[in-house]
Structure 1
Amino acid sequence: MGILGNMGKMDDFEISNSKLILLLMAPGLWIYSMIIGIVHVDRIEVPYGREVFSLFFFLVALFPGLNKLWCRQNYGHVVFFSLLLFAHYLIYTLSLNAFGLDYLLGTYIVLFGGILLQTNRMYVIVFTLTTFVHMALGLWLGDIPASVHSPILLSLATIFLFSFFIQNGFLRYKLELKKANLGLKSEVEQRNLDLEKRAKELAHKNRDLEEFAFVVSHDMKRPLRNVHSLAAWVKDDLKKGSLASAGDNLTLLMDQVAQMDVLIDGILQYSLGVDNKKVTRLLDLNTLVDTMVQANSASNIHIIKDSALPRLLVDKAQILQVFQNLIQNAIKYNDKPEVLIHIGVIDEVDRFKFYVSDNGEGISSEHFDRIFKLFQKLNTHPVQDSSGIGLAVVQKIIGKMGGEVWVESELGEGSTFYFSLYKRDVINGFEAGKVSESALALS
């Protein structure tokens, strides 16, 4: 069915061309037959043959206007069988009229045009062979002198040969043009994907700029104002000779400077630490995560890897940063005496969905979006070495890789952070898309 379906396909231009020719053949057949009737009164005609075929061609020519989609898939079949039937009708009429020159010329024109209207090599071969055999049988069975056989068959073979070469060249050019169009279409689709990717990157950068503006105008100004106020207090304390109070204020001032240092380091980490890097080797995440589990485990911290992890085409430093930030958050923001963390992956059809879950204090659903923004910390007991940058970095890294990050959590029930990476981004690009099954499999 697939081969037959392809044989019947026609482009819009081919449909329009065939429709126009068939539409002209309807009155043309009638007029040509009437002219022959005037010249040869004793001609032999198939009863109602010209009327039936004239109406038939007219209806076939009008059909594409009723169902364009069906015609694109099947109009080649209709054109082939219409012309093949008409060609054999003409050969039969030709044999009835003793292969007269007027009928012979008309038949040659239809046979030549019929080949040029075919859109498939197989149809060209079937059309030429069946009509040639029919013509040869008509000459052999009819009362035709032997001296006439060879010129007619030779001229017919010449017509078929030249028309076949012409149409074969056209079909080959059409096939090459389709291949070029497919390549161009693929290139356009790839460029559209690249443009979409760049648009997403620009959207991320614009959001980053907005966040930086917020940080500079709010988070950075607040400790600066505090430093200014504390410095003024220290100055007043020194004037008054209150050294103890001055010392306390200096301690607070140093805390504010330390906070600014954390903020600045976080900004640098966020803005400079997520560059696009060309990766040419698959990374075994099992080795990476096993090392991190060993480094972060303690007597009251239990990290369990639920499943084997895949080998992916990702930057080691960046994916290390993702897992490290998620594991550290699970440890830092945990109010339980025994910290329990689970790490694993869910292998879906088109992507890998990783997760890091904990038994910590949990997050209220209204804060799910907020926690991925710069310097946003929700815990009521602030962690001194936390800048609120970790989850923002995770989201930025995964976003650069074409994936997504989200959280599922309930207060007091712990949290599960998910991030997904599409296989087309982290596997299919390896060695120009030629990845062995062992490389794709989970370790």
Structure 2
Amino acid sequence: MTLAREWQTTFNAIHDGVGLLNDEGRFIRCNHSLIELFGKKSSDELVGHLHQDFIKPMLDETQVIPFYHAQQTQRREELEINWEGRWYFLTIDPIYNDLFFTGAVLIIADITERKQTELQLQEQAWEMNKLNVSLTNSTSELAQRNQELDRFVYVVSHDLKAPLRAISNLTQWIEDDLAGQLPTENQAQMVLLRQRVHRLESFIDGLLEYSRVGRTEDITESFDVAQLLDEIIDSLVVPDTFVIELNQMPKLVTKRLLLQQVFANLLSNAIKHHDRPDGRITISATQLGDYYEFAVTDDGPGIAEEDHERVFGIFQTLTSREKRENTGIGLSIVKKIIESEGGKIVIDSQLNQGATFRFTWRH
């Protein structure tokens, strides 16, 4: 009696619903989990009854109870059931004694949580596939837009700049041919016309440069930033009275050409917009984890706080182009390059107190 009681206690401890069937498919034994699953109060309501009477209401019209199939195949049969908002996994293992079929073990496991996870994963996989298709289409569209932009750049470079150069040359020829005959006012107008043409050419060059940022595969190189800055300073028109001071600079492995564009624009701006002939510019670098923070500081007229964001807008200038020739594209290019490389740029400045442009660059 003790062994039988221990066996029944163990049998009832099984979380899944378990039932023993005879060769006719009638319940011989069943545990508490199976009794509760079928909404019964005791095993007496199951024992002696055909298991089909309880299983069939759980199935949809396309499913068949696998008891007889398990008897024929002599192996486990499985079935997933979706019943009353929950998922179950039914297995039937046939029992043979000396080649004679004597019954089967029926197990019904609640797999709702697992099934919900599977369905969520399937839904996520479907969403991921949809995103991949969308990304593929977007990539294709982007490639097409880039081709269109390349064609636009070609048109701008050749079909617009060529007539501008012709206009500039024509005004010079007219001025040369009529030397001594043109009134002073007309000569000044010719000079002004050429200046306007050169300004428009500069606009076009700036737009082309802006459009190329992030669309070209720039070469990664190992170089000394101090040497790069020396080359940039040598290429700029720096007044003899200006002082440019370089603090300790790192050696980087990065896109040299892009960093060169950033520094060239920032230094050119600091020189061009300075309000005194004896300006001072300081360039420093500080390591911040995977980035270096570079700072270009000048002691010029400064930038009002309300203009800090505005100066990075394309075609934005703080002074009239009549007073100082400027396309208003340089800082837009700087910001676009830095952000395309995963960095940020900010301004520390107040009016009449100089300006510091700080930007981060991954090394």
Normalised by the length of structure 1, the TM-score is 0.43
Q: C-alpha separation between the residues in 2 aligned to 1:256 and 1:98?
A: 105
Give matches, 1:20-419, under 5 Å.
86-87=36-37, 90=40, 93-94=42-43, 96=44, 99-102=47-50, 104-109=51-56, 116-117=81-82, 124=89, 151-152=102-103, 154=104, 156-157=105-106, 174=119, 177-178=122-123, 180-184=125-129, 186-187=131-132, 190=135, 238=181, 246=184, 250=187, 252-253=188-189, 255-273=191-209, 274-275=211-212, 276-279=214-217, 282-284=220-222, 287=223, 289-295=225-231, 296=233, 300-305=242-247, 308=250, 311-312=253-254, 316-334=256-274, 335=276, 337=278, 339-344=280-285, 347=288, 355-368=295-308, 369=310, 372-374=313-315, 376=317, 378=319, 388-395=328-335, 397=337, 406-419=346-359
Q: Which runs of 5+ in 1 are unaligned?
A: 1-81, 137-145, 206-211, 240-244, 422-439
What's the CA shift for 1:318?
A: 4.0
Q: Tell me the secondary structure at the aligned position of residue 47 of structure 2.
A: coil
The answer as to whether partners of 2:313 and 2:332 remain within 8 angstroms in 1 is yes
The answer as to whether partners of 1:87 and 1:107 remain within 8 angstroms in 2 is no
Q: Tell me the secondary structure at the aligned position of residue 356 of structure 2.
A: strand
The 1:112–1:375 alpha-carbon spacing in structure 2 relative to 1, beyond 3 Å, is: closer
Tell me the residue number matched to 1:64. Answer: none
Q: C-alpha separation between the residues in 1 aligned to 2:295 and 2:138?
A: 27
The 1:84–1:288 alpha-carbon spacing in structure 2 relative to 1, beyond 3 Å, is: farther
Q: C-alpha separation between the residues in 2 aligned to 1:307 and 1:182?
A: 48
Tell me the residue number matched to 1:35. Answer: none
Q: Which runs of 5+ in 2 are unaligned?
A: 1-31, 61-78, 150-155
Identity, in percent, stands at 17
- The aligned amino acid for 2:47 is F
Normalised by the length of structure 2, the TM-score is 0.50
What's the CA shift for 1:324?
A: 0.7
What's the CA shift for 1:171?
A: 8.8
Q: C-alpha separation between the residues in 1 aligned to 2:123 and 2:38?
A: 33
The answer as to whether partners of 1:371 and 1:377 remain within 8 angstroms in 2 is no
Q: C-alpha separation between the residues in 1 aligned to 2:224 and 2:197?
A: 30
The answer as to whether partners of 2:311 and 2:331 remain within 8 angstroms in 1 is no
The 1:86–1:302 alpha-carbon spacing in structure 2 relative to 1, beyond 3 Å, is: same
The 1:192–1:395 alpha-carbon spacing in structure 2 relative to 1, beyond 3 Å, is: farther
Tell me the residue number matched to 2:65. Answer: none
The 1:420–1:357 alpha-carbon spacing in structure 2 relative to 1, beyond 3 Å, is: same
Tell me the residue number matched to 1:140. Answer: none
The 1:405–1:263 alpha-carbon spacing in structure 2 relative to 1, beyond 3 Å, is: farther
Q: C-alpha separation between the residues in 2 aligned to 1:305 and 1:189?
A: 48
The answer as to whether partners of 1:330 and 1:341 remain within 8 angstroms in 2 is no
TM-superposition CA deviations, 1:114-158 (whole Å, max 9, x none): 96249999x84xx869xx9xxx9xxxxxxxxx9xx9634x2x45x
Tell me the residue number matched to 1:9. Answer: none
What's the CA shift for 1:97?
A: 5.9
The 1:370–1:107 alpha-carbon spacing in structure 2 relative to 1, beyond 3 Å, is: closer
Q: C-alpha separation between the residues in 2 aligned to 1:365 and 1:419?
A: 17
Q: C-alpha separation between the residues in 2 aligned to 1:416 and 1:193?
A: 39
The answer as to whether partners of 2:285 and 2:292 remain within 8 angstroms in 1 is no
TM-superposition CA deviations, 1:262-290 (whole Å, max 9, x none): 31331231122232534275455xx2632
Tell me the residue number matched to 2:76. Answer: none
TM-superposition CA deviations, 1:329-377 (whole Å, max 9, x none): 123333363512224467589x986543322221233544257443736
Tell me the residue number matched to 2:11. Answer: none
Q: Tell me the secondary structure at the aligned position of residue 102 of structure 2.
A: helix
The answer as to whether partners of 1:322 and 1:394 remain within 8 angstroms in 2 is yes
